Structure 1
Amino acid sequence: MTAGRLAGSMFVMIAMPGAALAQTSTPEVADAAGPITSSPAEAVPAAVGEGEIIVTARRRQENVQDVPLAVSVLNADAIESTGSFNVSKLTQLQPSLQFYSTNPRNSAANIRGLGAPFGLTNDGIEQGVGVYIDQVYNSRIAAATFDFLDVEQVEVLRGPQGTLYGKNTTAGAINITTRRPSFEFEGRGELSVGNFGYRQAKGSVSGPIIEDRLAVRIAASATRRRGTVFNVTTNRHVNAQDNLGFRGSLLWRAANGLDIVLTGDFNRQNPECCAQLYVRTGATQRPLNRQFAGLAAAFGYAPPSTDAFDRLTDLDTPLDAFQEIGGASLRAEWSLGPGMLTSVTAWRFWNWGPSNDRDFTGLPITTISANPSKQDQYSQEIRYAASGKRLDYVVGLFAYHQRQHTTGVQEQGPAASRWLLNPGAVPVGASGCNPASANACNSAVLDGLRSENDILLSTTSLAAFGQLSWKVTDRLTLQPGLRLNYDRKSGQYEALVFTGSGAPLLCNPPPASSIARDQCANLPPQSYDPKFSDWNVSGDFTISYRLGADAMAYATYAKSFKSGGINLAGLPLDSGNTPILSAQTVKPEDVSHFETGLKTEFWNRRITLNLAAFWTEIKDYQATVTNGQLGVLRGYLANAEKVRVRGVEADFSARPTERLTLYASGAFTDHEYVRFVDAPCPPELSGGTIAGAGQTPSAPGTPGGLSPSNCDISGQWLPGISRWAFSFGGEYRHPLSLLGRAGEAYAGLDGSYRSRFSSNPSRSLYTDIDGYSVVNLRVGVRSPEHWDLFAWMRNAFDTRYFDVLATQSGSTGLIVGQPADPRTYGLTLRLSF
């Protein structure tokens, strides 16, 4: 019995810092970026030993322990056994990977705390973590929120990957490889059922059409689960799952050494999602009767529960998170001379049809908030990768074009005037509607006020890149890399605003009517056409030294960047209600990264110990800045002068016996805004009259006080990053006979821990998320290569924690959050033939 059969769905941590999981077997090589080999036998090098795992992180196939890079690997068994069926689920296995989402569009994948600004997505900028599916770049993280379908392997690369993976990988890359068509008939099926009405079915089949020439693979999946939150207004459960996916691929062996793969996929998600619930309130600088408690009392309103883990809401706007994701790609790989010539041509689309309740209450404040989008992207990459006795190299060209059209709508309801309009400082305890400010008492001021936004984005990117590995000696290797990139972005933002009577709202010049002025402050019409273009050079240099047969040390310096952007969520206005055009573009992020690491194996590869230390500094960090105008839901983007993230990561895995496998992985991450002097203020300093020259802002949380126009948050935490993060677990197997076949019973545990982190761009006591730990369990029996039946329990101890916290628009002090999934349990049956 091989080590792989003994390991089954066991996890082997490969690289720094996270729980890098992979089966400890002689692998079938994934073809994420390397050649498609002519037969399964040729896919595994003859020298591959027990526990060796092949990756394509450097665009060629290598043993992961030979790659001077922090990379973690999860193979199909690890993904399926742990229930990690999408990117967000990987975070419990990867300590340095974070994923935050209030809905699919407003999602962000961060590595080592970097990647995307915290808050609502702005279409004019790009992610800092590149997501690649079968070598195709996906520009929007929303396009990677699908359920994993027929996935062979996932590689998580940490640290800047700009040389080989492109401009927007300043924090790292997620490289997903699906199974390719096979010339031997095979099939897989999986069925899972669980509480909350959870049902998931997956299946794939592959085989030859023309022997040794043409093969096909077809896969499908469906996932459904009722929501974990109950809406008392609609009498329905929300935050559900409703996913459907299809994938098909055709492999044509056109000639010896030339393989062509045509792939198409489609994924549809249509859940009733995504509710954020009342968590708490905190004092702001707004007059006391204009904060949440006073306003709610004036309306006679109370949330259905003040304990978010009762999982009750009363949202009165329909919820929807409909999206369609799909596309097609054509990949050709040709053995040419000493290497492989690869061409990847792709088209991807993303259609997004949302509906949200952005006031987070059952009151008719904002009755419509939706930003449906349609995106198409086209990409072409050509590269040549070769290996020799002393020199390995990769050179290539990349072209990319994206077009996105968003048609947003926001409409205010009859409660908006009293809730959003601030009548000025009023005595504590006064009525929520101040007679001295008639506009706040007149619901017609904002009722029906409607903003219709038309947003266009066009992006073109071109690049040339190369990386060389020079084996100076059998121990010493030097690896320089360079990438030249050109970006051009153009956009159009037009917001037309209409009053409740349907009349257009005109705000420039400032209207004489106080009613119109309040309307303009709430939903300002504006129009602008931002443009950005730039050339950029990025590169890296790595020195690696083989200390012994099973030990390697490396050091890396990388200079990388994230493309500059354009603001496409509206701009702040000046005193004349004119957009401040200087804010329509943001500079590229300038990244300097240092890393050193050690990769070791002991005891005939039964023990793996990997260490890494890194230091990353970013100038002109792209951050979300809150728009100070009352009622405006969206912030805009600006550059923080400098941020720093540094840390130490460690990974340990062991197979002390043929029956037991163990792992532990951890990361310590120190992070701060080194300099950000004009940042948005936290909620406890917001909502008051802006302090003028010579005036001193009031103490935090002073009702009716003076607020600073901006805040210096230099030295404070970055959002979303825990200083400490761990993952740990293992599996024990016991051989037995099953229906006359050799099999095994097994039990496994996977746990994770994250310490406290901030959930707001400017840290606030109200929006810190306390540390938490989560434990997942499984127990089952299996006949390797044939079937696997196991029971599972995720979040076994029903830990109560939040994925994210956020504030309500208008500085009312309301804090809302998205509770993570409660305890779930179920049964899974997997078959293969």
Structure 2
Amino acid sequence: MLSLSPATAQTAPNTAAAAAADDTGLTDVVVTAERRSENLKRVPVSVAVVEGDDLRTFQAGGEDALALAGRVPGLYAETTTGRIFPRYYIRGLGNIDFYLGASQPVSIIQDDVVLEHVVLKSNPVYDVAKVEVLRGPQGSLFGRNTTAGIIKFDTIRPGQVWTSRFNASYGTYNTATFDAGVGGPIVQDKIAIRLSGLYQHRDDWIDNTFTGASADGTRGGRNALGGFDERDARLQVLLTPTETLSVNLSGHVRSYEGTSTVFHRGALIKGQNNIGLEPRDRVALDEGDNNPQAYKTYGGSVNAGWDFGAATLTSITAYETTSGYSRGDTDGGAAANFGGVGFGESMGRIRGLDQWTQELRLASNGDGAFKWQFGGFYFDNRDVTEFYQRGYFLSPGQAARNPNNWVRLRDVNTSWAVFGQASYRLADRLTLTAGARYTVDEKETRLVKASLTAAGADSFPATAPRTVKLTGKEPSWDVSALYEIDPTTSVYARIARGFRGPTIQGRSAVFNTPFSTADSETIMSYEAGVKTQPTSKLRINATAYTYRVSDIQLNGNDVNGNGTLFNADHANAYGMEAEMEWRPIRNITFSLGGSAIHTEIKDPRVYAQVCAFGGRPTCTVLDPTVRGGLFAQIDGNPLPNAPRWQVDAAVRYDIPLSDRGNFFVASDVNMQGYTNLVLYETREFFANDNLELGLKAGFTTADGKYEIAAFARNITNEKNLKGVIENYNAAVFNEPRIVGISLSGRFD
């Protein structure tokens, strides 16, 4: 159950009509958080649910899956590398590393397939049935181990009845979105298909005001940055040759071109956190060719299930591949505007990536007192990644030009695991559940081509290894108890141990710096919660938790502004999440959600390099520092991108006009409290009191088949700080206001 904006305000055409016609109140929420369909009240896990129609409402203004941030209590998301590199945080745990091979403690699962690489995590979600956010360690049942949680996207699958749906919208900056799906039986009860597609477009809307001579040929102009084109398609074929065998074949393709993240240099004045003076729609970039990025992704899976009566054997085989690049002016501004100093641009390119996954799972059937499942999982990821620095891009005749200023890395990550879970219901009210997994995770990064001088000399340190291998072997487990006080209320408690494998940071080789590494981290998490629906019109879920992450992996900067990995002794946290849905009368629905968290890094021996340019700090550091103020002690600091509190709320009001349909008005809001954006504390690098409002008003037909509406996302055009480039005091902003119209249809 999700307590957020139009997700629970019934914005979809089909659910809107149902809400207006149904006097019984809220419907049950069914989740698959334990790989089985189960009522949310009977699942001993903190789960938030976003229906597909509601996610499409958030994305009407051209947003991607990052639109979930701030609308699910305990979930935060951001990017500093454009739409191809989302970074998710659950209960304060995430990873601020922008390295293309970065490991993240939040796993993305699409149609039961884990997407591990950061680019694969950006695969668009469309024709989606439901999104589930599982908070806390999820080491027993799903894909890779994760210390923070899982975001699980389930698309609409083929069925034995022909159905179709579409959502189309058009708004500011020629922002257009079309999300559609159609499917049904080809041979009744034997072969069914579903074809889905997504198209998103936005014109460039940010002016590059730079007019001088550029060292790499970059030219300014009106409407030079900010746009994108997203084209995606997926075909699923469901084969059911017998009543006991089903095979779902799925294949998808993605083509994306757009602008990588735009940094605004000097937007944060030293000693201040005020970003009000920096225009969102103008920037002066003298390098980086206006920050282009482009990726193509292909993938497919075979999900087969054999029902043997007492148990079902499931096999999921999947393959994903991607290639592309992202380039940017990383100093975020023309050096001529800052005393003629400070140039920076870079590009990351994936030459090729191959991810293979295989899962086998045997699970008991039925709703008996004893349920069980066990299986095995194998993961294999291999990629060739290149990083290019400024010298490579400079025009002929430039003194700093160096066409050899790039590196090629080959990464291999293999992992295998065995897992199992069992639950037993005692006396019809108490259910005990225990799960376990043992994982071996191996990573290797090899420097295939070093960064050379302009004359061709190899400058990589002779004593530094060019191949680094790391292995992590750890158990994960969880134990929970759920007690049904009565048919309306359940309470639960859960203890879980999670594991994230070791990590290698190879991008530093482009600066002729040895690889940095981080050992495996583990988490012990404790939580207790209540799930209640005291009446048909009110539902409340609440969870309190605490955890400790040992050997937590952190990412700071080195002298080149490049990410560097290290372990801190541990981090502690405690917090809560609460969600409420209320439908007091037939035509009004309210929702409210919130989370609060306190996180703290604990290691007095760990220091992080601070904002610095030319050997001097560029920001106001509040922590104790050493080495001329360039390194800050981070002991006691909050984890980066861990909001102290988040609140989301929504309301929808349906006004029956006649037997032909309803007029409706829906509004949603999300707010975010103090959020430190880096490892050390400053007067500049934090967000506080961020606010975004959404509004939608329109007409739905009585049968729920059509909806036409006007909408506005970020209606007050709030300019919120979402990220920083520290040594240039550069800011990253949220999406601008988008106002438009939308049309939805559904045919069953």
Q: With the length of structure 1 as denominator, give the TM-score of the two structures.
A: 0.80
Check whether the contact 2:406–2:510 (CA below 8 A) recurs between aligned residues. no
- Rounded to whole Å, the distance in 2 between the matches of 1:191 and 1:554 is 41
Tell me the equivalent position of 2:36.
Answer: 60
CA deviation digits over 1:303-341, x for unaligned, max 9? xx9624353333422111211222000011122222322
Tell me the equivalent position of 2:641.
Answer: 720
Q: Does 1:378 align with 2:348?
A: no
CA 1:257 to 1:713, structure 2 compared with 1: closer, same or farther past 3 Å?
Answer: same
Counterpart amino acid of residue 586 in structure 1: A
CA 1:388 to 1:652, structure 2 compared with 1: closer, same or farther past 3 Å?
Answer: closer
**Offset at residue 771 of structure 1 (A):** 1.9
Tell me the equivalent position of 1:150.
Answer: 127
CA 1:95 to 1:313, structure 2 compared with 1: closer, same or farther past 3 Å?
Answer: farther
Tell me the equivalent position of 1:51.
Answer: 27
- Which residue of 611, 615, 619 corresponds with 2:546? 615
- Which residue of 710, 714, 717 corresponds with 1:795? 714
Q: Does 1:329 align with 2:301?
A: yes
Tell me the equivalent position of 1:672.
Answer: 600
Instruction: Tell me the secondary structure at the aligned position of residue 552 of structure 2.
Output: strand
CA deviation digits over 1:631-688, x for unaligned, max 9? x24222111111112102111110101100001111111111122522213327x864
CA deviation digits over 1:274-309, x for unaligned, max 9? 31112435569xxxxxxxxxxxxxxxxxxxx96243
- Counterpart mapping for 1:752-791 below 5 A: 752-783=670-701, 784-791=703-710
**Offset at residue 255 of structure 1 (A):** 0.4
Instruction: Tell me the secondary structure at the aligned position of residue 551 of structure 2.
Output: strand
Tell me the equivalent position of 1:107.
Answer: 86
- Rounded to whole Å, the distance in 1 between the matches of 2:645 and 2:461 is 51
- Which residue of 238, 245, 250 corresponds with 1:258? 245
For the aligned residue pairs, the C-alpha RMSD in angstroms reads 3.1
- Rounded to whole Å, the distance in 1 between the matches of 2:261 and 2:652 is 35
Check whether the contact 1:230–1:237 (CA below 8 A) recurs between aligned residues. yes
Tell me the equivalent position of 1:820.
Answer: 734
- Which residue of 189, 193, 197 corresponds with 2:174? 197
Instruction: Tell me the secondary structure at the aligned position of residue 573 of structure 2.
Output: strand
Q: Does 1:210 align with 2:141?
A: no
CA 1:87 to 1:506, structure 2 compared with 1: closer, same or farther past 3 Å?
Answer: closer
Q: Does 1:317 align with 2:295?
A: no
- Rounded to whole Å, the distance in 2 between the matches of 1:62 and 1:601 is 16
Q: Does 1:396 align with 2:375?
A: yes
Q: Does 1:805 align with 2:703?
A: no
**Offset at residue 411 of structure 1 (A):** 2.7
- Rounded to whole Å, the distance in 2 between the matches of 1:137 and 1:251 is 21
Tell me the equivalent position of 1:77.
Answer: 53
Q: Does 1:587 align with 2:558?
A: no
Instruction: Tell me the secondary structure at the aligned position of residue 678 of structure 2.
Output: coil
Tell me the equivalent position of 2:153.
Answer: 176
**Offset at residue 415 of structure 1 (A):** 10
- Which residue of 499, 505, 522 corresponds with 1:561? 499
- Which residue of 484, 487, 505 corresponds with 1:549? 487
Tell me the equivalent position of 1:272.
Answer: 259
**Offset at residue 819 of structure 1 (A):** 1.6
Q: Does 1:451 align with 2:451?
A: no
Counterpart amino acid of residue 226 in structure 2: N
- Rounded to whole Å, the distance in 2 between the matches of 1:151 and 1:596 is 30
The answer to which of 658-667 and 146-155 deviates more is: 146-155
Instruction: Tell me the secondary structure at the aligned position of residue 405 of structure 2.
Output: strand
**Offset at residue 787 of structure 1 (A):** 0.8
- Rounded to whole Å, the distance in 1 between the matches of 2:188 and 2:408 is 53
CA 1:709 to 1:791, structure 2 compared with 1: closer, same or farther past 3 Å?
Answer: closer
- Which residue of 65, 69, 79 corresponds with 1:91? 69
Counterpart amino acid of residue 74 in structure 1: V
- Rounded to whole Å, the distance in 1 between the matches of 2:604 and 2:293 is 34
- Rounded to whole Å, the distance in 2 between the matches of 1:150 and 1:760 is 36
Pairs aligned (count): 708
Counterpart amino acid of residue 796 in structure 1: I
- Rounded to whole Å, the distance in 1 between the matches of 2:468 and 2:312 is 41
- Rounded to whole Å, the distance in 1 between the matches of 2:321 and 2:224 is 30
**Offset at residue 150 of structure 1 (A):** 0.8
**Offset at residue 462 of structure 1 (A):** 0.6
- Rounded to whole Å, the distance in 1 between the matches of 2:354 and 2:507 is 20
Which has the greater radius of gyration?
1
CA 1:650 to 1:317, structure 2 compared with 1: closer, same or farther past 3 Å?
Answer: same
Tell me the equivalent position of 1:736.
Answer: 657
**Offset at residue 210 of structure 1 (A):** 1.0
Counterpart amino acid of residue 13 in structure 1: L
- Rounded to whole Å, the distance in 1 between the matches of 2:156 and 2:390 is 46
- Which residue of 319, 324, 327 corresponds with 1:355? 327
Tell me the equivalent position of 2:20.
Answer: none
Check whether the contact 1:593–1:614 (CA below 8 A) recurs between aligned residues. yes
CA deviation digits over 1:460-505, x for unaligned, max 9? 11111111111122111111110011111111025533444x3425
Give ranges in structure 2 of 5+ residues lacking alignment.
Answer: 15-23, 211-219, 337-341
Counterpart amino acid of residue 71 in structure 1: V
Instruction: Tell me the secondary structure at the aligned position of residue 608 of structure 2.
Output: coil
Tell me the equivalent position of 1:599.
Answer: 531
Check whether the contact 1:106–1:119 (CA below 8 A) recurs between aligned residues. no
- Counterpart mapping for 1:119-518 below 5 A: 119-121=97-99, 123=101, 125-233=102-210, 234-235=220-221, 236-280=223-267, 307-309=278-280, 311-318=282-289, 319-363=291-335, 366=343, 369-373=346-350, 374-386=352-364, 387-412=366-391, 444=399, 446-448=400-402, 450-494=404-448, 496-500=450-454, 502-506=455-459
Tell me the equivalent position of 1:652.
Answer: 580
- Higher strand proportion (structure 1 or 2): 2
- Rounded to whole Å, the distance in 2 between the matches of 1:105 and 1:183 is 35
- Rounded to whole Å, the distance in 2 between the matches of 1:315 and 1:335 is 62
CA 1:700 to 1:654, structure 2 compared with 1: closer, same or farther past 3 Å?
Answer: closer
Instruction: Tell me the secondary structure at the aligned position of residue 78 of structure 1.
Output: helix
Check whether the contact 1:19–1:665 (CA below 8 A) recurs between aligned residues. no
CA 1:497 to 1:258, structure 2 compared with 1: closer, same or farther past 3 Å?
Answer: closer
Check whether the contact 1:119–1:761 (CA below 8 A) recurs between aligned residues. no
CA 1:657 to 1:708, structure 2 compared with 1: closer, same or farther past 3 Å?
Answer: same
CA deviation digits over 1:610-638, x for unaligned, max 9? 1110101101111113213xxx2422211
Give ranges in structure 1 of 5+ residues lacking alignment.
Answer: 1-11, 29-47, 285-304, 417-441, 510-524, 691-697, 809-813
Instruction: Tell me the secondary structure at the aligned position of residue 120 of structure 2.
Output: helix
- Rounded to whole Å, the distance in 2 between the matches of 1:368 and 1:309 is 20
Tell me the equivalent position of 1:296.
Answer: none
Check whether the contact 2:346–2:388 (CA below 8 A) recurs between aligned residues. yes
Instruction: Tell me the secondary structure at the aligned position of residue 497 of structure 1.
Output: coil
Check whether the contact 1:316–1:363 (CA below 8 A) recurs between aligned residues. no
The answer to which of 307-316 and 559-568 deviates more is: 307-316
Counterpart amino acid of residue 190 in structure 2: R
- Rounded to whole Å, the distance in 1 between the matches of 2:542 and 2:621 is 42
CA 1:325 to 1:766, structure 2 compared with 1: closer, same or farther past 3 Å?
Answer: same
Check whether the contact 1:366–1:413 (CA below 8 A) recurs between aligned residues. no
CA 1:306 to 1:659, structure 2 compared with 1: closer, same or farther past 3 Å?
Answer: closer
- Counterpart mapping for 1:1-40 below 5 A: 13=2, 21=7
CA 1:699 to 1:754, structure 2 compared with 1: closer, same or farther past 3 Å?
Answer: closer
Check whether the contact 2:490–2:531 (CA below 8 A) recurs between aligned residues. yes
Counterpart amino acid of residue 478 in structure 1: L
Instruction: Tell me the secondary structure at the aligned position of residue 546 of structure 1.
Output: strand
- Rounded to whole Å, the distance in 2 between the matches of 1:457 and 1:729 is 45
- Rounded to whole Å, the distance in 2 between the matches of 1:752 and 1:121 is 29
